Amino acid sequence: MAEPKIEPTGATLGATVTGVSLADLDEATWQTLRRAWLQHALLIFPGQHLSNAQQISFARRFGPIERIGGGEIVAISNVLADGTVRPHQPGQWDDMMKVIVGNMAWHADSTYMPVMAQGAVFSGEVVPAAGGETGFADMRAAYDALDDATLALVHQRKAHHSLVYSQSKLGHLPGAQSAYVGYGMDQTAAPLRPLVKIHPETGRKSLLIGRHAHAIPGLDAAASEAFLEGLVDWACQAPRVHTHHWTAGDVVLWDNRCLLHRAMPWDLSQPRVMWHSRLAGHPTAEAQS
């Protein structure tokens, strides 16, 4: 197989990879991609058109897949089983739609679980004509750019992480009547994690923040929220952000240990069907503190 072409995005993160088929990787190409992933934290593979089975096979190269709803791949979709679009006016949102809208805020995956994810393989099957991009933000570069005073603060502080907390802002509460009661919404504890994470493979430091982070010990709720939200707003700015504009068939691979991501808004009357395979984190390196 020919050597893949890896072209950096121009931001502090991300590269587009062409000249490779993810459905048919030899070992040498796989190792090249893994090294590129650790360097760039985000790899974009246009026009792959993977089947679910092929996406799972690629994701398994990184180790176990974090099972969400019992499966190794899950649809992130506003389309119901009968092919219609979920009720999309704000007053009509069901809990699944509240999860979709919640994901439009910057976050890292599974920080609210005892072991956070190491990354994800994500693909687009049906994408809207406008909007619905995915934004990625480089928390390595954000850490590197901190002023001395804030640097001292983030090294001193930790935050709890909870999906129940973040989803409650949208009126999504746990309970038997909810359409989304599992994976994260069933957690009764909120893991406590340092605001600075050391990458277990590269050794680089990054900020571990995002919409699930809250309740910094030693601060009241308002001060904690103001500090964390201000940090996210500052961190998620150019040149530390790359936005991927989807074409059906694209695949992206990101490193959850050093990036935040979010879905960008779109006309929710338009279908958007994405497939997500979450890469399980190392049980020690990605465990709560």
pLDDT at 182: 65
Mean pLDDT over all residues of the chain? 95
Q: What percent of the chain has pLDDT over 90?
A: 87
CATH architecture of 5-279: 4-Layer Sandwich (3.60)
Within 10 Å of residue 150's Cβ, how many Cβ atoms?
Answer: 16
Q: How confident is the model at residue 2 (pLDDT cuts 50, 70, 90)?
A: confident
Instruction: Looking at the chain, list the stretches that DSSP marks H as alpha helix, in order from N- to C-terminal side.
Output: 27-40, 52-60, 95-102, 139-144, 148-156, 163-168, 221-235
pLDDT at 209: 98
pLDDT at 176: 54
CA dist., res. 238 & res. 12, Å (int)? 9
Out of 35-49, 64-78, 248-262, pick the least confident: 64-78
CA dist., res. 32 & res. 278, Å (int)? 21
Q: Is the model's pLDDT at 14 over the cut of 70?
A: yes
Out of 12-16, 114-118, 168-172, pick the least confident: 168-172
Domain boundaries, the chain: 5-279
- pLDDT, tens digit, 9 for 90 and up, residues 168-201: 999 887 765 555 656 788 888 899 999 999 999 9
